[in-house]
Amino acid sequence: MVGTASEHIEAEGVDGGVGLTALLVAAARAIETHRHDSLAQDPYAEHFVRAAPACAQWPIRIEEAAGGDGNPLWGRFARYFGLRTRVLDDFLLRSLAAGPRQVVLLGAGLDTRAFRLDRPADSVVYEVDRAGVLAFKERVLDGLAATPRGGRVPVPVDLREDWVTALTGAGFDPTEPSVWFAEGLLFYLPAAAETYLVDTVDRLTTEGSSLAFEVKVEKDLMAYRDSATYTATHAQIGIDLLALFDKGPRPDSLAQLTNRDWSAQVHTPFEFTRRHGRGPLPEPNDALEGNRWVLARKGGPPL
């Protein structure tokens, strides 16, 4: 437990803007963890929420949320994050089972896969994010005496800076297969930045590498400005997601990859809801309607 020491932990880097969304996802993972029919377990998530003054009063169990599962934010939207966590957990473990031993989390936020997944002991997880985000994360995890299940290397660098040099300088080897995650990241980036990121991942990977990322395919994000997901998130915790998302035309990152010997599967979250028997299903004026999860592999069939 973090206990009273959490009051002295400064949530630098996670107390506003896109950084605050990392705490939103942590709260969702905490709620998912405590469900009787949990899709994913993250025992560290609730400690991040309680350590940051900006969200210390947010629920970490569905029973603490007004309206329970009927709450558009802490019910349906949080369950979406729980489902996404499960799907990408499974993809990461399948990818590692195929041979790669390097994992790169771009915009790692408060991801704890390095600690909670039963991965090969000789695998290394590189967590790339801003120094403030990683510093907050380290303080909380150190307070819990958390131990990673294998190698873990924080890489404190802003993705707008020379993160490639920082990553390779931290030990990442581009000549060896690797697994890359851009979870909940690309729709915050301008189109040119997304194209550069995908091009760079391709350049830093060899055959047998994998990549998972999330995109939104709506032509007009503002068409969903009155959706329950966006309005509840803004009203209940002050996060205006539409103000954070880049609103320019999106690049075709999938085509960019398939033209370079990547194979990919594109999924709606609702496919996995039906597969697992829980999670969000389509609804009118649905902010999740355009979300897609892309699971790709270089030089081989999708895993």
pLDDT digits (tens, 9 = 90+) for 194-222: 999 999 999 999 999 999 999 999 989 99
- pTM of the full predicted structure? 0.94
pLDDT class of 191 with cuts at 50, 70, 90: very high
Tell me what pLDDT residue 15 has. Answer: 73
Q: How would you class 257 by CB atoms within 10 Å of its CB: exposed for 0-12, middle for 13-18, buried for 19 or more?
A: buried
Q: What confidence score (pLDDT) does residue 302 get?
A: 87
Question: Is 79 in contact with 150 (CB distance < 8 Å)?
Answer: no
Q: Is the pLDDT of residue 68 over 80?
A: yes
The separation between the first and the last C-alpha atoms of the chain, rounded to the nearest angstrom, is 37
Tell me what the mean pLDDT of segment 139-151 comes to.
98
- How many angstroms separate the Cα of 27 from the Cα of each of 71, 115, 234? 14, 17, 15
Q: Which fold has domain 3-298?
A: Rossmann fold (3.40.50)
Nearest residue to 219 (alpha-carbon basis) of 239, 248, 252: 248
Residue 194: its H or E element? helix 191-203
Sorted by where each begins, the domain ranges of the chain are: 3-298
Q: How large is the average pLDDT for residues 30-55?
A: 97
Q: What is the pLDDT of residue 290?
A: 96
Check: CB of residue 289 under 8 Å from CB of residue 230. no
With cut-offs at 50, 70 and 90, classify the pLDDT of residue 6. Answer: very low
| Residue position matching structure tokens 């380290």 | 138
Looking at residues 254-271, what average pLDDT do you find?
A: 96
Q: What is the pLDDT of residue 18?
A: 81
Q: How far apart are CA 134 and CA 122, in angstroms?
A: 23
Residue 230 contacts residue 224 (beta carbons within 8 Å):
yes
Give the model's confidence band at 97: pLDDT under 50 very low, under 70 low, under 90 confident, else very high. very high
Side chain identity at residue 191, one-letter code: A
In angstroms, rounded to a whole number, what is the distance separating the alpha carbons of residues 253 and 260?
Answer: 11
The residue-averaged pLDDT of 66-77 equals 98
Average pLDDT score over the chain: 94
Distances from the Cα of 250 to the Cαs of 160, 166, 194, in angstroms? Answer: 18, 27, 8
CA distance 144 to 128: 22
- pLDDT confidence of residue 41: 98
pLDDT band of 4, cuts 50, 70, 90: very low
Q: What pLDDT score does 5 carry? A: 31
User: Which residues contact residue 95 at a Cβ distance below 8 angstroms, ignoring those fewer than 6 apart?
Assistant: 179, 210, 297, 303
- Token pair of 192, please? 């040119």
**Is 80 exceeded by the pLDDT of residue 1?**
no
Instruction: Assess whether pLDDT exceeds 50 at residue 192.
Output: yes
Mean pLDDT computed over 252-263: 96
Q: 262 forms bridges with which residues in the sheet?
A: 298
Asked if pLDDT for residue 3 goes beyond 60, the answer is: no
- In the three-class reduction of DSSP (H, G, I as helix; E, B as strand; rest coil), residue 183 is classed as coil
Give the pLDDT confidence score for residue 213 in this predicted structure: 98
| Helix, coil or strand: residue 226 | coil
User: How much is the pLDDT for 147?
Assistant: 98
Beta-carbon contacts of 156 under 8 Å, excluding residues fewer than 6 positions away, are 129, 130, 131, 134, 135, 166
The answer to whether residue 9 scores a pLDDT higher than 70 is no
Are the C-beta atoms of residues 128 and 107 closer than 8 Å to each other?
yes
State how far the Cα of 228 lies from the Cα of 224, in Å rounded to an integer. Answer: 9
